[in-house]
Amino acid sequence: VSALVLTMGEPAGIGGEITLKAWLRRGEQLPEFFVVDDADRLQAIADALGMAVPVIRVTDPALAGEVFSSALPVLHQAMTRPVHPGAPDAANAPGVIGSIETAVSLTLSGHARGVVTNPIHKKTLYAAGFRHPGHTEFLAHLAGDGITPVMMLVGPELRVIPVTVHVPLADAINALSTYAIVRAGVIADAALRRDFGLASPRLAVAGLNPHAGEEKTIGGEDGELIAPAVAALRDQGIDAFGPLSPDTMFSPRSRRLYDAALCMYHDQALIPLKTLDVDGGVNVTLGLPFVRTSPDHGTAFDIAGQGIANENSLISALRLADALARRRAVGFT
Amino acid sequence: VSALVLTMGEPAGIGGEITLKAWLRRGEQLPEFFVVDDADRLQAIADALGMAVPVIRVTDPALAGEVFSSALPVLHQAMTRPVHPGAPDAANAPGVIGSIETAVSLTLSGHARGVVTNPIHKKTLYAAGFRHPGHTEFLAHLAGDGITPVMMLVGPELRVIPVTVHVPLADAINALSTYAIVRAGVIADAALRRDFGLASPRLAVAGLNPHAGEEKTIGGEDGELIAPAVAALRDQGIDAFGPLSPDTMFSPRSRRLYDAALCMYHDQALIPLKTLDVDGGVNVTLGLPFVRTSPDHGTAFDIAGQGIANENSLISALRLADALARRRAVGFT
């Protein structure tokens, strides 16, 4: 039985620290995992922060589960240059990217149960020649041609799916299309059935404009682009409804009426999620041929190296990856 | 001592019902108020819904306070046509508008302590020739030339100020300017000092793009328009900071660090507020020469006439208007 694989993420960020902290909480029903990272740097962080974590190098991922209870298993990948917390170095970007590539490769070949990723810092990767719009798109690229990844953020009370992601807000509006909404809805519906075990997922579709256009008096996209997408999803037998007024659809009463909210732009999805809870949110990529989750925060350079980073979101990401992988293992792939 | 004045709002909506329900809770430290509405229609709603509310006509607002404990005081304004819950009629628009005009006039002349408005339905008013972008802009127009109203939404845990309001999202982005942000910040700062009694209000300024532009890799407005506005506000001695990443600034931890959030568009402000609480939010107009609050919900045609509308937001609006009016009365105007 294989373990989950956790990537290094940006080494100048808090990824190493939260990885070590998560392992220390292995007794709290945490699934077994191993890390693709520089074993020496992880041991150095543990020592510097006074964390009693024995880091052990493994060369065969199949052994990770065996050692997990007594040491943090690491598939060693040496850093190019020494890491300074808070100061990312493009010279180490190949290691960051390599860790992701190795994790995906091991998962696709059945040597890991699913991928959990630590946060990366895109600007540093761009400086080293990385050319993908983001982490998720890179994972989709590694997974193969023709794959459309869909990001879902999962919190204790809310699941949200941004149809457009890390683009300027004006570009998100311009890029919005009925096709993109329908595609995200179809992928979300399938994933909620297969991976989350929902028999008939209810998808709430957000409007774009204030009050979802208020009967077409405040903008046209709600009626012209979003309403047809809802109709198309319903024609396919998917329980989608909307467009809903974005401001009221996340209220305590409203969010009980659906399993996931399809949102038109990044912050329409992320604001309600993080308003409710910033620590335990998990980023899940739907539509990939493997399970992938990640914490929903960034590299947090401002607090890197201080020992104060919060590992709750990573722990939630590991637990959710475990649950999804279990369901995939018994269902169809 | 005068009372607060409450407007009719759209008569086919829930305004009448929540007004009656609020009066029934007058024992819960509710400030005295009178309504500018059709007394017969209010009595008919009370009777139809089995609410023991004696509606009494007053012709002199000064008498409202005396009768408030035993009856709901109404400055009578007859409807043009019978009202059907859920079905607004443009023929009654002059009454809706007249109620607002009377309320403002009485407040400006010192016959009422402040204005609390029930929700209106703009589309119906537009059909009758109303030409103002919204309720708030109409109130500013009535207050006099050269007044810039600034909308603030107040919830139990959060105050938010949208710099742009009821416009399509694409237009909000195009209309965003350093000047508009600074103007809203200056008015908000002054109002928070004068009406809310804060000695040095802390204003969190939101970014526009995901991650506030993520170091200029996701859109330029954050650095080009918003950052200069923050600098200009600070130059004026106002404790503004930002632009902040919109998704994380409303988290439980982050929102403790400021007194109000200056938001770039309607839903950036309204989503976090209503995610936390949809019933008790209050809309306050800053920058007017009188106190004005309103519930933060709409006309709710779908439930009008059924007796199930929730009066909590109206009650919060009445209480907040009372608190603001008290502070204005002892301070400078």
3-state secondary structure A220-249: CHHHHHHHHHHHHHHHCCCEEEEEECCCCC
Chain B contact for A165, CB < 8 A?
Answer: yes
What is the rounded average pLDDT of the residues B325-331? Answer: 79
The pLDDT, as a whole number, for residue B333 is: 42
Which residues touch A34 (CB under 8 Å, ≥6 apart)? A3, A4, A5, A6, A58, A61, A64, A68, A72, A73, A74, A75, A112
Q: How many CB atoms lie within 10 A of CB A227?
A: 18
Chain B residues near residue A266 by CB distance under 8 angstroms: 210, 247
pLDDT in tens, B25-67: 999 999 999 999 999 999 999 999 999 999 999 999 999 999 9
What is the rounded average pLDDT of the residues A81-85? Answer: 95
Chain A residues near residue B216 by CB distance under 8 angstroms: none
What is the rounded average pLDDT of the residues A31-57? Answer: 97
Chain A residues near residue B214 by CB distance under 8 angstroms: 122-123, 166
Say how many residues make up chain B: 333
| CA atoms of A230 and A253, how far apart (whole Å) | 22
Q: Average per-residue pLDDT in chain A?
A: 94
Residue B56 has phi, psi (to 5 degrees) of: -125, 135
Residue A19 C-alpha from the chain's centroid: 16
| Residue with more model confidence, B134 or A184 | A184
What is the rounded average pLDDT of the residues B198-209? Answer: 97
Residue B28 C-alpha from the chain's centroid: 22
Yes or no, beta carbons of B277 and A252 under 8 Å apart:
yes
- The b/e string for B271-302 (b: 16+ C-beta within 10 A; e otherwise) is bbbbbbbbbbbbbbbbbbebbbbbbbbbbbbe
- Residue pair A247/B271 in contact by the 8 Å Cβ criterion: yes
Yes or no, beta carbons of B254 and A278 under 8 Å apart:
yes
- E strands, A17-59, in order: 33-37, 55-57
In B108-137, the residues whose Cβ lies within 8 Å of chain A are 122-123, 126
- Name the closest residue on chain B to residue A255, using Cα atoms: B275
Q: How confident is the model at residue A297 (pLDDT cuts 50, 70, 90)?
A: confident
Chain A contact for B250, CB < 8 A?
Answer: yes
Distance from CA of A52 to the nearest CA of B (A): 29
* Nearest in space to A246 (alpha carbons), one of A264, A266, A259: A264
Yes or no, beta carbons of B168 and A220 under 8 Å apart:
yes
The pLDDT, as a whole number, for residue A330 is: 65
pLDDT in tens, A17-33: 999 999 999 999 999 99
pLDDT in tens, A261-270: 999 999 999 9
pLDDT in tens, A92-108: 999 999 999 999 999 99
Residue with tokens 């990044």: A266
| CA atoms of A158 and A268, how far apart (whole Å) | 13
Which of A164, A267, A273 has the highest number of chain B CBs within 10 A, making it the mutation to test binding with B? A267
Yes or no, beta carbons of B275 and A276 under 8 Å apart:
yes
- Residue pair A241/A205 in contact by the 8 Å Cβ criterion: yes
> Given a cut of 70, is residue A1 above it in pLDDT?
no
In the chain, the amino acid numbered B236 is Q
> Given a cut of 70, is residue A333 above it in pLDDT?
no
Yes or no, beta carbons of A217 and B168 under 8 Å apart:
no
> Given a cut of 60, is residue B288 above it in pLDDT?
yes
Which of B159, B160, B169 has the highest number of chain A CBs within 10 A, making it the mutation to test binding with A? B169
Q: Which of A217-226, B157-166, B211-220, B242-251 has the lowest mean pLDDT?
A: B211-220
3-state DSSP assignment of residue B171: helix
* Nearest in space to B16 (alpha carbons), one of B332, B326, B318, B306: B306
> Given a cut of 60, is residue A331 above it in pLDDT?
no
The pLDDT, as a whole number, for residue A233 is: 98
Chain A contact for B157, CB < 8 A?
Answer: no
- Residue pair A140/A148 in contact by the 8 Å Cβ criterion: yes
Q: How many CB atoms lie within 10 A of CB A31?
A: 20
Distance from CA of A96 to the nearest CA of B (A): 19
> Given a cut of 90, is residue B279 above it in pLDDT?
no
- Residue pair A116/A6 in contact by the 8 Å Cβ criterion: yes
Between A and B, how many residue pairs show a Cβ–Cβ distance under 8 A? 132
* Nearest in space to B316 (alpha carbons), one of B280, B274, B270: B280
What is the rounded average pLDDT of the residues B245-252? Answer: 94
Where do the H-state alpha helices sit in chain B? 15-24, 39-48, 64-67, 93-108, 122-127, 135-143, 169-175, 178-194, 221, 227-235, 266-276, 312-330
The pLDDT, as a whole number, for residue B154 is: 95
> Given a cut of 90, is residue B12 above it in pLDDT?
yes
Which of B151, B274, B276, B279 has the highest number of chain A CBs within 10 A, making it the mutation to test binding with A? B274
Chain A contact for B274, CB < 8 A?
Answer: yes
Question: Which tokens go with A149?
Answer: 């990844």
What is the rounded average pLDDT of the residues B89-111? Answer: 96
The pLDDT, as a whole number, for residue B165 is: 83
Distance from CA of A35 to the nearest CA of B (A): 27
In the chain, the amino acid numbered A226 is I
pLDDT in tens, B120-175: 998 899 998 899 988 999 999 999 888 989 999 999 889 999 998 889 999 999 99
Question: Cα–Cα distances in Å, from A258 out to A203, A241, B35?
Answer: 6, 9, 39
The pLDDT, as a whole number, for residue A179 is: 96
Yes or no, beta carbons of A275 and B276 under 8 Å apart:
yes
| CA atoms of B314 and B296, how far apart (whole Å) | 8
Q: How confident is the model at residue B331 (pLDDT cuts 50, 70, 90)?
A: low
> Given a cut of 90, is residue B282 above it in pLDDT?
yes
The pLDDT, as a whole number, for residue B332 is: 45
Question: Which tokens go with B279?
Answer: 């019933």
| CA atoms of A61 and B295, how far apart (whole Å) | 59
3-state DSSP assignment of residue B34: strand
Distance from CA of B22 to the nearest CA of A (A): 22
Which residues touch B78 (CB under 8 Å, ≥6 apart)? B38, B40, B95
Q: How confident is the model at residue A116 (pLDDT cuts 50, 70, 90)?
A: very high
Yes or no, beta carbons of B166 and A215 under 8 Å apart:
no
Say how many residues make up chain A: 333
- Residue pair A108/A143 in contact by the 8 Å Cβ criterion: yes
- Name the closest residue on chain A to residue B213, using Cα atoms: A168
The pLDDT, as a whole number, for residue A280 is: 74
Q: Which of A143-152, A174-183, A300-309 has the lowest mean pLDDT?
A: A143-152
3-state DSSP assignment of residue A263: strand
Residue B7 has phi, psi (to 5 degrees) of: -85, 165
Residue with tokens 């005068």: B2
Distance from CA of B260 to the nearest CA of A (A): 15
